[in-house]
Amino acid sequence: MTKPPETVFLDTDVFVIDLRYTTDTHFQDNRRLLEEIRSGKVTGLTSIYNVLEVCGILSFNLGAEELLDLYAGLADRYSVRVVFPGSWDESISFSLPDIFKQIRKKMSFGDALVADIVERQDTGRIRAFLSWSAKHFAGKLPVEALTPKEFLRRQDG
Amino acid sequence: MKAQRKKTVSLSARLPIDLVERADRLAREKGIPRSELIEKGLALLVERDLMSEEERLRLATQAMREGRPAPMQSNWSRIEERIRETKARFKTADEAMAQIRKRK
């Protein structure tokens, strides 16, 4: 029986490196990971916070039209599923006690938002949280925090 | 049964040479005729103009939430071109992440 593809949760820097920092030393490994996702070998998840962060970083380079295109097209371009906190009523809300619980683990507010949404997923199904700043999440998530390079090495292993 | 053909009309327009050259290059890359590229581009422009930014944002978010592509097509070649043409706000991806997440 064929093994189902593993699911990973992608942090903002994975998209940002691919789109903006093409001379980054991690670019090749990062691109390889994204190709694995695009080809369906690995299933990719990310959150609406991450999509908005990508837009925020690139807002300095893009006009209003392109920014909206980036927002609307990011998930499809990278073949990732975007998850949201709670139900959708055109506003994004979070639970203060839940975010505070993350902050207590010594996290910045932005990291806590992402950590909270990772925790809200079916974590038994998620193999790892992938970030080039995985060290900031080490031991603080219900899933392993790895760099894309570490994840690929294990896949190759 | 024969498929119904869309009614068409012939137009002539004066366009900048460099724009036509870039359009032809794109049409070749996509393997479609120039006329089809122009038709698609014009349709995209008209569709966008009819929809407010707020409405497009709402539809895109709804699609994202339902795990399907947004109803409007993103112009990725334009996004990539703009990124290439402009200077990064942050020197490195690390710096960008440190700034947006307010990490020390």
> Which residue from A111, A113, A110, A100 is spatially nearest to A138, judged by alpha carbons?
A111
The answer to whether the Cα torsion of B13, B14, B20, B23 is positive or negative is: negative
Over residues A14-55, the pLDDT tens digits come to 999 999 999 999 999 999 999 999 999 999 999 999 999 999
pLDDT at B2: 55
pLDDT in tens, B66-98: 999 988 889 999 999 999 999 999 999 999 999
In words, the CATH class of domain A6-156 is: alpha beta
Residue type, B54: E
Q: Tell me, what's the pLDDT at A50?
A: 97
Q: How far apart are CA A133 and CA B17, in angstroms?
A: 46
* Closest listed residue to residue A33, CA positions, set A64, A70, A79, A73: A79
Report the pLDDT value the prediction gives residue A95, as an integer from 0 to 100: 86
Q: Residue A127: helix, strand or coil by DSSP?
A: strand
* CB pair distance less than 8 Å for A72 and B75: no
List Cβ neighbours of B62 (8 Å cut-off, separation of 6 or more).
Answer: A88
Interatomic CA distance for residues B84 and B6, integer angstroms: 39
Domain locations in chain B?
17-100
Query: Do B100 and A57 lie within an 8 Å CB cutoff?
Result: yes
Does the pLDDT of residue A90 top 80, yes or no?
Answer: no
Extents of the domains making up chain A: 6-156
Residue A101: its H or E element: helix A96-103
Q: Are A55 and A67 in contact (CB under 8 A)?
A: yes
Question: What would the mean pLDDT of A105-123 be, rounded to a whole number?
Answer: 91
Report, as an integer, the average pLDDT of A80-101.
84
CA distance B75 to chain A (A): 6
Q: Do B74 and A82 touch (CB under 8 A)?
A: no
Give the chain A residue nearest B58 (alpha carbons): A90
Give how far Cα A118 sits from Cα of A4, A130, A151, B25, B94, Å. Answer: 21, 11, 17, 43, 21
pLDDT of residue A87: 66
Give me chain A's average pLDDT, please: 93
State whether the Cα torsion A112-A118-A124-A126 is positive or negative: negative
Place of tokens 């190759």: A156
Question: Residue A1: which pLDDT band, with cuts at 50, 70 and 90?
Answer: low
pTM of the entire predicted model = 0.80
Instruction: Please name the residues between 66 and 95 in chain B that touch chain A, using a CB distance below 8 Å.
Output: 67, 69-70, 72-76, 78-80, 82-83, 86-90, 92-94
Residue B55: per-residue pLDDT: 85
What gap in Å lies between CA B52 and CA A112, rounded to an integer?
33
Reported as a single tens digit per residue, the pLDDT across B6-60 is 788 888 989 999 999 999 999 998 899 999 999 988 887 777 777 788 888 999 9
What gap in Å lies between CA A102 and CA A116, rounded to an integer? 7
How far apart CA B98 and CA A133 sit, in angstroms, is 9
ipTM: 0.85
